[in-house]
Amino acid sequence: MTVIDVPTLLARAIHRHMGDGHGLANARRLSGGASRETWAFDVAGPDGTLPLILRRDPPRAVPLPETSDGTRGIDRITEAMLQKAARAAGVRCADVTFTLDADDELGDGYVMERIEGETIARKILRDAEYATARPILAGQCGEALARIHALSGPDLPVLPVRDARTQWSEFRDLLDGFGDPHPTFELAFRWLDRHMPAPAAPRTVHGDFRMGNIIVGPDGLRAVLDWELAHVGDPMADLGWVCINAWRFGVLENQVGGFGSLDDLIAGYEAAGGMAVDRERVRFWEVFGTLKWGISCKIMAWTHLSGTTRSVELATIGRRACENELDLLDLLL
């Protein structure tokens, strides 16, 4: 892979897309991501300083999986279009400033506003600064999900369709590919097969709505991040995913992200115009999400052990597959 001077090319892209008089300052790459990069920087212009973020996929001969389920997700241009449509519909998310093109030589990506706040779960769940936010956060998340699930219209990009049965088959194949037996995962696959819900009316689904992918301030939810797993499917998948034990970060008594209750999430969702919530359907997706995260941990371990991407973070997450086995037993038995 050719190493490029991102700050130099980014400065040039800013001139191209934002005009003369706009200069780059304080560019720094943020941690995380093997094939996807995130940069924070400032743009000084005639109207003051803008704090911005660059999300980009560097050009590669062979793209690497970068999402939690071992896929590459949607591309960055589609992600930017979706985020624009979501913001226009009232979803709390960053405003997209511009998208990259081939002349920028930075790969696929886009620039968006940088929203101040916290993403680290440990701080959100424990620091006094967020004590006022925690009781209202589940309701705010429900509202955000209702608005996401209502997205439609000509400005919405084409998204992949992923129903429950399709995803079941995908993860069945992924686990089989390892040739490594996991009796608890097999139990979960059988339970999911027996409890597969009837096809849902397809809606826009965020796909990775959870702690770590939201920005929180003392006033609560400020922005929804990381739209790369967005698809068309069962909206209850988002409600189930935010409930899985892994995203509670040790505060196990609070089902939603470690900060709130399912009742509050559903109340916020339905008050914002979301469909009536079927709790059994949410339970199905909570079980599915736990299985999915357990298999995803194995994928990350393999990515490290195979040498595809050597990473202490991937190796550490990879060891957590067993935690999801315990969570599945608690859910099913």
Q: Domain boundary residue among 84, 113, 142? A: 113
Torsion angle in degrees (nearest 10) through CA of 317, 321, 326, 329: 140
CATH number for the domain that contains residue 299: 3.90.1200.10
Count CA within 13 A, CB hemisphere, residue 233.
Answer: 22
For 123-185, give the secondary structure using H, E and C.
HHHHCHHHCCCHHHHHHHHHHHHHHHHCCCCCCCCCCCECCHHHHHHHHHHHHHHHCCCCHHH
Q: What is the reported pLDDT for 35?
A: 54
Residue pLDDT, tens place only, 131-186: 999 999 999 999 999 999 999 999 899 999 999 999 999 999 999 999 888 999 99
Count CA within 13 A, CB hemisphere, residue 272.
Answer: 22
Residue 45's domain spans which residues?
6-113
How many domains in the chain? Answer: 2
Contact 211, 258 (CB under 8 A): yes
Q: Domain boundary residue among 87, 113, 139? A: 113
Does residue 1 form part of some domain?
Answer: no
- Joined together, the tokens standing for residue 225 give 């991040």
Q: Give the angle 299-284-250 at the CA atoms, nearest 5°.
A: 65
Residue pLDDT, tens place only, 274-315: 999 999 999 999 999 999 999 999 999 988 888 888 888 888
CA max distance for the chain = 64
The chain-wide mean pLDDT, for the chain, equals 92
Q: Domain boundary residue among 65, 91, 113? A: 113
Contact 18, 50 (CB under 8 A): no
Residues 97 and 127 in one domain: no
Residues 135 and 273 in one domain: yes
What pTM did the predictor assign? 0.92
Q: What is the reported pLDDT for 2?
A: 63
Residues 293 and 221 in one domain: yes
Torsion angle in degrees (nearest 10) through CA of 48, 51, 53, 54: 30
Residues 147 and 54 in one domain: no
